[in-house]
């Protein structure tokens, strides 16, 4: 970590780090993980792994750009104390893209059934990570967080599978 970045973090208190980095990053990670599931699973069922891979990458990158712009342009931070909109936008956009890419990569496997199994395992791991971050920084019960995020993921995957089978 560069000296200027390290000194920047030392100047921030825990609440500022939460508002400027953790919360925008968590929003991005949740959105990237969940919002990309339906298009990826629908594409996998309709057209196979190759299509799902590119739909997933396009969705993750597009969602990252959209979420980054949304966060960055929605609040300058001057009135709310949430810090720089540009920094929050970058954090949100990057985490959205990352959240969507991890479970897209299993579609490098040409066997779509195997790719779906691996992707589902990756999604489960992503949900555990999201839930742990919520527990650690937002003091949400791990059990409640797992239920909330998993429920959202299950509903979205079902939408993708239903649309892909239509």
Distance CA 111, CA 117 (A): 10
Ordered by start, the domain boundaries in the chain are 17-165
**CB-count burial class (<10 Å; 0-12, 13-18, 19+) for 71:** buried
What does the pLDDT read at residue 83? 79
What does the pLDDT read at residue 10? 63
pLDDT at 14 over 90: no
Running DSSP on this structure, what letter comes out for residue 12? S
Note the pLDDT tens digit of each residue in 33-85.
999 999 999 999 999 999 999 999 999 999 999 999 998 888 877 777 777 88
- 7, 17, 78, 133 from 10: Cα distances, Å: 5, 10, 21, 21
Q: State whether the Cα torsion 152-154-157-163 is positive or negative.
A: negative
Where residue 19 falls among pLDDT bands split at 50, 70, 90? confident
Note the pLDDT tens digit of each residue in 139-165.
999 999 999 999 998 998 899 889 888
Note the pLDDT tens digit of each residue in 74-113.
887 777 777 788 889 999 999 999 999 999 999 999 999 9
Distance CA 163, CA 14 (A): 43
Quote the Cα angle for 142-71-52, to 5°: 70
């Amino acid at each position: 970590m560069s000296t200027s970045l390290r000194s920047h973090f030392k100047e921030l208190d825990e609440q500022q780090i939460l508002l400027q980095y953790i919360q925008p990053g968590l929003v991005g990670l949740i959105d990237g993980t969940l919002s990309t599931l339906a298009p990826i699973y629908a594409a996998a069922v309709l057209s196979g792994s190759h299509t799902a891979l590119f739909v997933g990458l396009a969705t993750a990158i597009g969602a990252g750009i959209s979420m980054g712009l949304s966060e960055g342009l929605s609040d300058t931070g001057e009135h709310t104390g949430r810090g720089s909109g540009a920094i929050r936008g970058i954090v949100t956009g990057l985490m959205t893209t990352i959240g969507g890419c991890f479970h897209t990569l299993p579609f490098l496997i040409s066997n779509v059934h195997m790719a779906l199994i691996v992707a589902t395992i990756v999604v489960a791991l992503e949900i555990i990570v999201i839930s742990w971050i919520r527990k650690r920084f937002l003091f949400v019960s791990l059990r409640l967080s797992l239920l909330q995020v998993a429920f959202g993921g299950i509903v979205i995957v079902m939408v993708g599978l239903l649309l892909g089978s239509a």
